Structure 1
Amino acid sequence: MKQLYTLVATLLCSAAFAQIPAGYYNSAQGLTLQPLRTALHNIIKGHSVKSYASLYTNFAITDKITINGAVKVWDIYSYNPVNPLATAYYYSYGSGTCGNYAVEGDCYNREHSWPQSWFSSTLGPQTDMFHLYPTDGKVNGLRSNYPYGNVTTATDTTTNGSMLGTGTNNAGYASIVFEPVDEYKGDLARGYFYMTTRYYTEDATWANSGATTKCEINPWELSVLMEWHHRDSVSTKEINRNNGIYGIQNNRNPFIDHPEWADSIWPNAIIVTSVANSIQQATKVTAFPNPTTDLVTVQNIANNSNLVLYNAQGKLIYTEQTLTNTSAILNMANYPKGLYMLRVSTATTNQTLPIIKQ
């Protein structure tokens, strides 16, 4: 896991390194909110749909890791990112696919991070690699079709620390969730942002779940995923995987190439905050109007809060401390158009809100 980025500095890290084809995102430039989501949908729709059987062959391109000179399956549900040599087991491509399994390490199969039952096993999303991963069969079965979330009380813990259980830190959702290790939380979040954008308006046959309404991510899940997105920034693994999938499907994940677009589309998603190594739901700070052309009113501020505003390059451009006020007004009139990040913090809470200046 990467630490919560110094606001947008890490959030905006990827575009310079990803191999984005020239002009690929031209029609999305300068857009925000629903128009941006629609533009991105039109860019990435119509990808080359592959067969279900081809996934194992394609995983060997997109999900491989070299351990002691040998190429292995990069299984996000079993790999130990802190100490790779302590990983309990590795699979090799060309063997080890499920079949039957009884315990971890028996075999691996194809994990739909957005479960098949949520999209009625439609062929397009069924083989869309941006939400598919090769994972241990036992852990895949354990995760089943439970939503992703933060686990407080675990009923099952895997060899790499992934957990199944219940949590009180999921923006009001109290049912069973699956929590991967920190290293891959952002990866999975950006996969969900891709899915809700790629299949926007194409979800007539999709089912609802505790986390989704057809292809729309429900507010509590969006809150959790946005927090994961902020805390676990785009990695080299994701960039390489994005490029590999582009070579197979002929489309890209915009939220890997441009992580800031998640905040541009969903600027008012609740941010779950971290306190003393636990994740808690703070009173939601709000900012309106957002987008804005000049003044922004920030509400639900706790006493003795610090307000810090950063531009898209991570440069501090404004700071203010509130003593007893529950609201504040920011004057954005003289700032250039673009994305800004407002951090509102106290001694025990920390929330970050994107502010869009038009």
Structure 2
Amino acid sequence: MFKNISSFLFLLVFSISNAQVFINELDCDTPSTDDREFIELKSTAPNFPLDGYVLVLYNGTGTNANLNYYVIDLDGLTTDINGIVVIGNNLVSPVPNRSLPDNIFQNGPDGVALYLGSSSDFPNLSVATTANLIDALVYDTNDADATALMTLLGETEQISEGANNSPLSIQRKNDGTYEANTPTPGANNDGTGFIYSGITISTTATQFNEGQAFTITFTTQTAVTDNNLNFNFSLSNSGFNAADFTGSTAVTIPIGSNTFTSTIQLVDDINDEGDEIARIRFGTLPFGYNRVNDNIELRIIDNDFTTSTWGTPLNPTYGVVQSTAPVGYYDSLEGKAGLDLKQAIQDIIANPTVVRAHNYGDIESILKVADQNPLNSNQVWLMYVEQPRSKLDFQETGINTGKWNREHIYPQSRGGFANGTDDTPDGINVWLPTNADDILAGHADAHHLRAEDGPENTSRGNRDYGEYLGPVGTQGSWRGDVARSLFYMAVRYNALSVVNGNPSNTTVGQIGDLALLLQWNQTDPSDDFEMNRNNYIYTWQVNRNPFIDYPSLADYVFGANFGQPWFSTLSNNNFDNSKIVLYPNPMKDNFVISGVSEGTIEIYSTIGQKVFEKNINGEVAIDINLAAGIYLAKITSGNKELVRKIIVQ
């Protein structure tokens, strides 16, 4: 592989004080995803330091046309023997000299410019300029020309990469013009120059349990010549360190070979450290080699996870988790009715001398505890899709497939609090006072934020509940949770309300459908999962969702009992359900219920349709003729009620 090395040796020690640097290649749009995009610079002299250079990305259209949206300081970068340096996403291959987050480059018409200067010279939304400009490229994906931006950057031609999701990149030719062609990151566009031998990292799998052994293989594109190839790699990453594995991290590929395999043994300890990510990273490589891939993530599953005594929303339990509301927390509500009752609730949950407002960055930490899967402490429970997901899979880039993120039950745009708080977490001990008029605090009010599957969160958008009924196959275990969250928001903040019907999705301060939400509050009753999250959020915000502690409040504030005095004895939380027995469950054609004196049982489908009703007293055998599925049995006695989930086989 080194037959041409003699013609390049003098370049390794040759340096000059100045060299021409230009934009050599740009891949602004890749098929399906935006995780393989890059920009390549080239200097006319090899091994040229780029200290004092900066790349600036500009909008070409829209309200921010001709203004910058991203700046990349190039200090610390040096071009290679071919005069090339690459800045791009982690999945670009060979690996870029500097990494960028996914989805940075806009598809166009937009521009990128190379300047002498620093990032501080280009504050966000600065107007494009030719001052200290070295080179510029205005580009598109089959879009109209951004003529104003071209003029500001002194360009007379806009270059197209091709249609959206183009597999091509924009490449500079030797005559200084550009063409769209197959991407060549890290190499001269015409195929000349020194050719590196790439090294690839591979493993037998990407997920392992504590205690397992696995192998890592390093493979060069061409067989090693002249001398053995020696380098090191690392596995440590955040909480995963040398105490978590044994095995050598030194690599030797002998002359004539192109592979080396290392065996790693994972340590099986007795501590629940949570699932972790081990990251395979190359150490420094000898001259002539580059990285085909790097930063390979391996998921290490901790088998010491813990479980809770309560159930998931899909298989709920009731009465296991008790409210941690302080004694007397709700005393001021007793006997109040209508708007007075609503105001009394707000006086508690928006009390400016007590309640604390945290920021959006803290929500990730809050949800990892509040929405923890009761069956596995290393997972969160996703609401709409009704399934768990590893806490590790929090969405941190624009790619949301397989990730979970923070779902606003009262949509940001509908609430008027979009981006109202900072995304940098500052912890439970840093907070701001808040009140009922502090609508921006709604951006990070954990009582209406839940862990959710990224694509499903996108699918929900900002629709009303009535327009959005969840993914296909949902069993509705989240519907009551949604209703009680919205009832809370409509009382907590003066600017918000829950209304009948489906107002326009652009309406700020209103969300529907109230009638449906009141129904969901009944058919999907508050369970232990909700009570546990209510208790935990209270430790941060020092307020509670009263509609979880007392679900019947919703009917007195928003529903059929509006105007009637409310007393805590009316709450189904005071129903003595320890004496209520309903068996067998699951059932087929009949079941027995006992422990109820002079009451009724009503059975509802998961969409809220009443399919059965019967008066009961003492122990009663009940015949049913229902299709297989999940139902909710509402048991009423006097002014108290209890809801149980039943399964018909």
Q: Which TM-score bucket, shorter chain as reference? A: 0.5 to 0.7
Cα distance in structure 1, aligned partners of 2:559 and 2:390: 40
- Can you list the C-alpha shifts for 1:243-301, whole angstroms capped at 9, x where unaligned? 0000010000010111111111223389xx998776579xxxxxxxxxxxxxxxxxxxx
After superposition, the Cα gap between the structure-2 partners of 1:194 and 1:15, relative to the gap in structure 1 and judged at 3 Å, is farther
The answer to whether the aligner puts 1:255 opposite 2:547 as a matched pair is yes
Could you tell me how far 1:32 is from its partner in structure 2?
2.0
Match of 1:74 among 362, 370, 381: 381
Spell out, residue by residue over 1:227-248, the C-alpha distance to the aligned partner (whole angstroms, 9 max, x if none).
1000011110000000000001
Q: Name the CA distance, whole Å, in 2 between partners of 1:15 and 1:257.
A: 13
Q: Give the superposition deviation at 1:33.
A: 1.7
Larger relative contact order (CA 8 Å, sep ≥ 6): 1
Structure-2 residue corresponding to 1:238: 530
**Match 1:18 to one of 323, 330, 335:** 323
Structure with the largest fraction of strand: 2
Q: Quote the offset at 1:189 in angstroms.
A: 0.5
Matches within 5 A, 1:1-358: 17-45=322-350, 46=352, 47-67=355-375, 69-80=376-387, 90-93=389-392, 95-101=393-399, 103=401, 105=402, 107-121=403-417, 122=420, 123-149=440-466, 157=471, 161-162=473-474, 181-199=475-493, 201-203=494-496, 209-210=503-504, 215=509, 217-218=511-512, 221-268=513-560, 311-314=638-641
Name the CA distance, whole Å, in 1 between partners of 2:606 and 2:321: 32
CA distance in 2, matches of 1:151, 1:40: 28
TM-score, normalised on structure 1? 0.57
How far off its partner does 1:96 sit?
3.4
Query: Contact 1:112 / 1:133 at 8 angstroms: preserved in 2?
Result: yes
**1:182 is matched by which residue type in structure 2?**
G
> CA deviation digits over 1:299-345, x for unaligned, max 9?
xxxxxxxxx99532249xxxxxxxxxxxxxxxxxxxxxxxxxxxxxx
Question: Letter of the aligned partner of 2:504 in structure 1?
Answer: G
> 1:54-96, CA deviations, whole angstroms, 9 ceiling, x for partnerless residues?
11111122111154x552011113334xxxxxx6xx2224x53
Looking at structure 2, the residues matched to 102 and 247 of structure 1 have their Cα atoms a distance apart, in angstroms, of 30
Q: Are the aligned partners of 1:15 and 1:257 in contact in 2 as well (CA < 8 Å)?
A: no
Counterpart residue identity of residue 99, structure 1: T
Distance 1:197 1:14 in 2: 26
Gaps of 5+ in 2: 1-311, 421-439, 563-601, 611-634, 643-649
RMSD: 3.7
In 2, are the aligned partners of 1:196 and 1:217 still within 8 Å (CA)?
Answer: no
* Counterparts of 1:196 and 1:212, CA distance in 2: 17
For residue 74 of structure 1, give the secondary structure of its aligned residue in structure 2: strand
Residues 378 and 390, structure 2, Cα contact 8 Å, conserved in 1: no
Q: 1:213 to 1:258 in 2, by over 3 A?
A: farther
Pair 314,66 (structure 1): closer, same or farther in 2 beyond 3 Å: closer
SS in 1 for 2:539: helix
- Asked if 2 retains the 8 angstrom alpha-carbon contact of 1:186 and 1:231, the reply is yes
If you compute each CA radius of gyration, which structure gives the higher value, 1 or 2? Answer: 2
Contact preservation (8 Å) 2:479, 2:524: yes
CA distance in 1, matches of 2:482, 2:496: 20
Cα deviations by residue, 1:92-143 (Å, 9 ceiling, x for unpaired): 24x532312264x1x2211101000012224310000111012111111111
Q: Is the 8 A contact 2:383 2:478 kept in 1?
A: yes
Paired residues, number:
238
TM-superposed deviation, 1:35: 1.1
Q: Deviations over 1:197-230 (max 9, x none)?
A: 101x3459xxx95379754555xx1100011000
For the residue of structure 1 that corresponds to 2:329, the secondary structure is coil
Cα pair distance change 1:147/1:217, threshold 3 Å = closer
What amino acid maps onto 2:521 in structure 1? Answer: H
Letter aligned with residue 371 of structure 2 = D
2:534 partner letter = N
- SS of the equivalent of 1:183 reads coil
State the distance in 2 between where 1:135 and 1:150 align: 18
Residues 33, 142 of structure 1: alpha-carbon distance in 2 compared, 3 angstrom cutoff: same
Cα pair distance change 1:312/1:146, threshold 3 Å? same
Counterpart position of 1:348:
none
Give the drift of 1:149: 2.1
> 1:277–1:313: structure 2 CA closer, same or farther, 3 Å change rule?
closer
Unaligned runs of 5+ in 1: 3-9, 81-86, 163-180, 282-307, 316-358
Tell me, in whole angstroms, the C-alpha distance in 1 between the residues paired with 2:342 and 2:506.
Answer: 17
Measure the CA separation in 2 of the matches of 1:242 and 1:259: 13
Identical-residue share of aligned pairs (%): 30
Distance 1:209 1:253, change over 3 A: same
Instruction: Report the 3-state secondary structure (helix = DSSP H, G, I; strand = E; otherwise coil) of the residue aligned with 1:20.
Output: coil
Name whichever structure is richer in helix by fraction.
1
Return the alpha-carbon distance in structure 1 between the equivalents of residues 320 and 488 of structure 2.
16
Q: CA 1:276–1:131 in structure 2 vs 1: closer, same or farther (change >3 Å)?
A: closer
Give 1:15 deviation, angstroms. 12
**Aligned partner of 1:71: which letter?**
N
In the alignment, residue 382 of structure 2 is paired with which amino acid? D
Is contact 1:63-1:241 (8 Å) kept? Answer: yes
Cα separation, 2, equivalents of 1:277 and 1:313:
22
